[in-house]
Protein backbone atom coordinates (compact mmCIF):
# COMPACT_ATOMS: atom_id res chain seq x y z
CA UNK A 1 0.00 0.00 0.00
CA UNK A 2 2.86 2.40 0.81
CA UNK A 3 5.95 2.74 -1.34
CA UNK A 4 9.39 2.08 0.11
CA UNK A 5 10.38 5.68 -0.68
CA UNK A 6 7.41 7.02 1.28
CA UNK A 7 8.18 4.77 4.24
CA UNK A 8 11.83 5.85 4.40
CA UNK A 9 10.99 9.54 3.96
CA UNK A 10 8.24 9.33 6.59
CA UNK A 11 10.53 7.60 9.09
CA UNK A 12 13.25 10.21 8.51
CA UNK A 13 10.77 13.04 9.08
CA UNK A 14 9.39 11.31 12.17
CA UNK A 15 12.63 10.20 13.82
CA UNK A 16 15.11 12.88 12.78
CA UNK A 17 13.06 15.99 12.04
CA UNK A 18 10.53 15.49 14.83
CA UNK A 19 7.39 15.77 12.72
CA UNK A 20 4.26 14.03 13.94
CA UNK A 21 2.96 10.97 12.13
CA UNK A 22 -0.43 12.57 11.45
CA UNK A 23 1.24 15.65 9.98
CA UNK A 24 3.43 13.49 7.72
CA UNK A 25 0.45 11.57 6.38
CA UNK A 26 -1.57 14.77 5.85
CA UNK A 27 1.31 16.35 3.92
CA UNK A 28 1.54 13.24 1.77
CA UNK A 29 -2.12 13.70 0.81
CA UNK A 30 -3.72 10.85 2.74
CA UNK A 31 -7.32 11.33 3.85
CA UNK A 32 -7.34 10.67 7.59
CA UNK A 33 -11.13 10.40 7.60
CA UNK A 34 -10.68 7.22 5.59
CA UNK A 35 -7.50 5.90 7.25
CA UNK A 36 -8.45 6.89 10.77
CA UNK A 37 -6.76 9.53 12.91
CA UNK A 38 -4.75 6.96 14.93
CA UNK A 39 -3.58 4.93 11.96
CA UNK A 40 -0.52 7.08 11.11
CA UNK A 41 0.90 6.67 14.63
CA UNK A 42 0.26 2.93 14.62
CA UNK A 43 1.84 2.49 11.18
CA UNK A 44 4.86 4.63 12.09
CA UNK A 45 5.45 2.48 15.18
CA UNK A 46 5.18 -0.69 13.09
CA UNK A 47 7.70 0.63 10.57
CA UNK A 48 10.09 1.71 13.32
CA UNK A 49 9.85 -1.71 14.98
CA UNK A 50 10.51 -3.45 11.67
CA UNK A 51 13.57 -1.37 10.82
CA UNK A 52 15.15 -0.74 14.20
CA UNK A 53 16.77 -3.56 16.15
CA UNK A 54 14.96 -4.75 19.22
CA UNK A 55 16.01 -2.76 22.26
CA UNK A 56 15.34 -2.92 25.97
CA UNK A 57 12.14 -1.19 27.00
CA UNK A 58 12.79 2.51 27.32
CA UNK A 59 13.07 4.01 30.76
CA UNK A 60 10.86 7.01 31.53
CA UNK A 61 13.87 9.34 31.22
CA UNK A 62 14.72 7.90 27.80
CA UNK A 63 11.11 8.37 26.68
CA UNK A 64 11.21 11.99 27.82
CA UNK A 65 14.41 12.59 25.85
CA UNK A 66 12.86 11.05 22.73
CA UNK A 67 9.78 13.22 23.12
CA UNK A 68 11.91 16.32 23.58
CA UNK A 69 13.94 15.44 20.50
CA UNK A 70 10.80 15.07 18.39
CA UNK A 71 9.46 18.40 19.62
CA UNK A 72 12.80 20.09 19.04
CA UNK A 73 12.08 21.27 15.54
CA UNK A 74 8.94 22.83 14.15
CA UNK A 75 6.52 22.09 16.96
CA UNK A 76 8.78 23.64 19.57
CA UNK A 77 9.21 26.78 17.49
CA UNK A 78 5.43 27.06 17.02
CA UNK A 79 4.93 26.52 20.74
CA UNK A 80 7.49 29.17 21.67
CA UNK A 81 6.05 31.69 19.20
CA UNK A 82 2.60 31.18 20.68
CA UNK A 83 4.00 31.62 24.18
CA UNK A 84 5.76 34.87 23.19
CA UNK A 85 2.55 36.19 21.63
CA UNK A 86 0.62 35.34 24.81
CA UNK A 87 3.18 37.01 27.07
CA UNK A 88 3.27 40.12 24.87
CA UNK A 89 -0.52 40.37 25.04
CA UNK A 90 -0.37 39.92 28.80
CA UNK A 91 2.24 42.70 29.09
CA UNK A 92 0.08 45.02 26.96
CA UNK A 93 -2.93 44.29 29.15
CA UNK A 94 -0.98 44.98 32.34
CA UNK A 95 0.40 48.22 30.88
CA UNK A 96 -3.15 49.35 30.12
CA UNK A 97 -4.18 48.57 33.71
CA UNK A 98 -1.25 50.60 35.06
CA UNK A 99 -2.16 53.51 32.79
CA UNK A 100 -5.76 53.45 34.01
CA UNK A 101 -4.63 53.51 37.66
CA UNK A 102 -2.49 56.60 36.99
CA UNK A 103 -5.49 58.56 35.68
The Cα-based distances of 61 to 57, 58, 65, 68 in angstroms read 11, 8, 6, 11
Res 86: pLDDT: 94
Distance CA 77, CA 38 (A): 24
In the chain, what are the domain boundaries? 1-56
Structure confidence at residue 68 (pLDDT): 67
Query: Which of 47, 56, 44 is closest to 19 using CA atoms?
Result: 44
Report the pLDDT value the prediction gives residue 78, as an integer from 0 to 100: 83
pTM, full prediction: 0.51
Per-residue pLDDT of the chain (103 residues; tens, 9 = 90+): 789 899 989 988 988 888 899 999 999 999 999 989 999 999 999 998 888 766 555 556 666 666 666 666 667 788 888 999 999 999 999 999 999 988 7
Amino acid sequence: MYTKDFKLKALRQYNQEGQGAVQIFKQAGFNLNILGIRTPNRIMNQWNNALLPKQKPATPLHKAKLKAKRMASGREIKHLKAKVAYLEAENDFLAQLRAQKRK
